Amino acid sequence: MKTILGKVSRRLATGAVALTLSAGMAANAVAAEYNWRFANLYSRGTAFGEVYQSMADNIETMSGGRISVKMMYAGEGVSTNGIFGAVKTGLITMGAPFQPMHAGEMAEGIIEVGLPGGTDNPAELMDLFYEKGFGEILDEAYAAHGIKYLDPYIQPPVYILTKEPINSVEDFEGLKIRAPGAYGKFLRNLGASPVNLTWSEIYTSLSTGVIDGSIGSNLIDHRDGNHVEVAKYMYRLPLAGAQVLPVIVNQKAWDQLPEDLQAIVKAATTVHARDQLTKSRAWESQAVADMEAKGLKWSPEPSDADRKAWKAAGANLWEEYAKESDYSARLIEVLKQDAAQ
């Protein structure tokens, strides 16, 4: 953790000029020169929703009010699976999308967020993005859609919550599970039927029997969505050890900003990445405790055979996604080189 926070701190140094500029502006706030709308994945009152709001507030404060940011929560004008497209077209200025929800529009995002079986080490992930070329390829991939790619941020592991207990991987056979993108392909390899739903649809779909289980972006999502009220069983093996998600801006809107305001937005995004990492780790333990108090039950410890089947379910995904685009092939090549070291 000290290593990754050190990396984030060094990146914050790049925003030092912006912070110095904003300190002088904050005392004499001016009318907004740029009015932005920022869509995030979560509902009002959720833990992660507040982190995004903090980022919006930081942009306003650090810019001395020159940039005004209106936060749009889940269900407030833009659907979760529509954030990417809305930023691309300029309907909204800034967004924090969940890449599996727009896999058909940008296949590279599935590799970006993390394929099943990927590392859960934040320092290794940041090295991948900033030292080994992953981020540069994604800069190009997003630019091809008219989108400016800002700092990625890390969220905790992805777990599956189900209505019935999973005592072995064979129990996934025939289950309908909300699992977009590569997560869905992974579970299909175990015999499940993946369903593509937004986070706000999970509770109702579980309670009415539309689905038998769901992934969350992390354990905190399950807690904040009250999913344990309608599905009490958590499988012990995570689909992904960590997730890396982006903050994106419409390229035309970005190009309209002078360099000092671009630096401020970048600095605020880096602070946001730090907050996502440090706060989510603390929140995760509390989320588990909260859900256990409401009756959450964990599956039995997986057998060696279950672990082997789990690993095999994701074994072919790298090659499959490498075929999606030139950018995808380049990203997978970086992963292969990293794994070989």
Section 17-23 average pLDDT: 42
149 and 54 assigned to the same domain:
yes
Instruction: List the domain range (segments joined by +) for residue 230.
Output: 160-240+292-317
Q: How many angstroms separate the first and last alpha carbons of the chain?
A: 22
In a domain, 12, yes or no: yes
In a domain, 91, yes or no: yes
155: helix, coil or strand? strand
Query: Total domain count for the chain?
Result: 2
Q: How confident is the model over 146-190, as pLDDT tens digits?
A: 999 998 998 888 899 999 999 999 999 999 999 988 889 999 999
State the residue for tokens 């529509």: 82
Q: How confident is the model over 109-122, as pLDDT tens digits?
A: 999 999 887 777 88
50 and 172 assigned to the same domain:
no
| DSSP conformation class of 300 | P
83 and 127 assigned to the same domain:
yes
20: which 2 tokens? Answer: 């110095």
96 and 235 assigned to the same domain:
no
Section 47-75 average pLDDT: 94
171: helix, coil or strand? helix
Section 258-266 average pLDDT: 97
Which phi and psi (to 5°) does residue 129 adopt?
-80, -40
66 and 170 assigned to the same domain:
no
Section 202-223 average pLDDT: 92
DSSP-assigned beta bridge partners for residue 69: 36
**pLDDT the model gives residue 221:** 86
25 and 167 assigned to the same domain:
no
Which phi and psi (to 5°) does residue 224 adopt?
-70, -25
| DSSP conformation class of 163 | S
Section 82-91 average pLDDT: 96
Give the integer Cα–Cα distance in Å for 219 and 232: 13
In 3D space, the residue among 189, 169, 166, 165 whose CA is nearest the CA of residue 179 turns out to be 189
- pTM for the model stands at 0.81
Give the integer Cα–Cα distance in Å for 305 and 184: 21
Section 48-72 average pLDDT: 95
- Mean pLDDT of all residues belonging to the chain: 88
Share of the chain above pLDDT 90, in %: 64
For 22-52, b/e burial (b = at least 16 CB within 10 A) is beebeeeeeeeebebbbbbbbbeebbbbebb
Section 231-253 average pLDDT: 93
Question: What single-letter amino acid sits at 36?
Answer: W
Can you give the CATH number for the domain in which 184 is found?
3.40.190.170
Residue 206, pLDDT > 80, answer yes
**pLDDT the model gives residue 22:** 43
